[in-house]
Amino acid sequence: MAEDASTLPAVDERSVPFFEAAERGVLALQRCEDCGTFLHPVRVRCTSCGGTAIAWVEASGRGKVFAHGRLRRSYLPEHEGKLPLTLVLVELDERVRFASRLATGADEAVRTGDRLAVVFERLTDGTPVPVFRREGSGGSR
């Protein structure tokens, strides 16, 4: 199992656009074409209106810390040598919550409400994963 894979959608036919966008350094979300609601995780039906006209769109990649925690001990082999990690639940500007972690080297203390921006790192298998750092602290999408 690759590190941090548990926070990503399962790789299947419905999630391919998420991973294709990540390869380009873009965070993609689903959006209901009927009511405009952004959706995460991957859905086949809108959680707001029940519509099935769902499209993938580029998200801002920006949001604020909704919750955070420091992972100091883990029984998962993918975390060996990488602890401690700061886990974050980011409320994206699109009004969905996205579970992730702070980017490598960006383990400064965060507080609820801090602004974050997405950057991408690669798993050992080469899969790009969205992680976050303080908005304006460098890095690229």
45-72 per-position pLDDT tens digit:
999 999 999 999 999 999 999 999 998 8
Between the CA of residue 102 and those of 25, 31, 75, 87, what are the distances in Å?
16, 25, 20, 6
pTM of the entire structure? 0.84
Q: What are the strands, taking DSSP E only, across the chain?
A: 28-32, 38-39, 54-58, 62-71, 85-92, 97-101, 115-122, 128-134
Q: Confirm if 35 and 51 have CB atoms less than 8 A apart.
A: yes
Q: C-alpha angle 23/45/2, rounded to 5°?
A: 35
11-29 mean pLDDT: 92
Q: Confirm if 90 and 112 have CB atoms less than 8 A apart.
A: no
The pLDDT of residue 83 is 85
Token pair 């965060």 in the structure block, residue: 110
Q: How confident is the model at residue 2 (pLDDT cuts 50, 70, 90)?
A: very low
Residue 4 has pLDDT above 80, yes or no: no
Quote the tokens at residue 74: 């883990």
Q: Confirm if 8 and 121 have CB atoms less than 8 A apart.
A: no
Q: Which is more confidently placed, 124 or 40?
A: 40
* Residues whose CB is less than 8 angstroms from the CB of residue 24 and which lie 6 or more positions away in sequence, other chains included: none
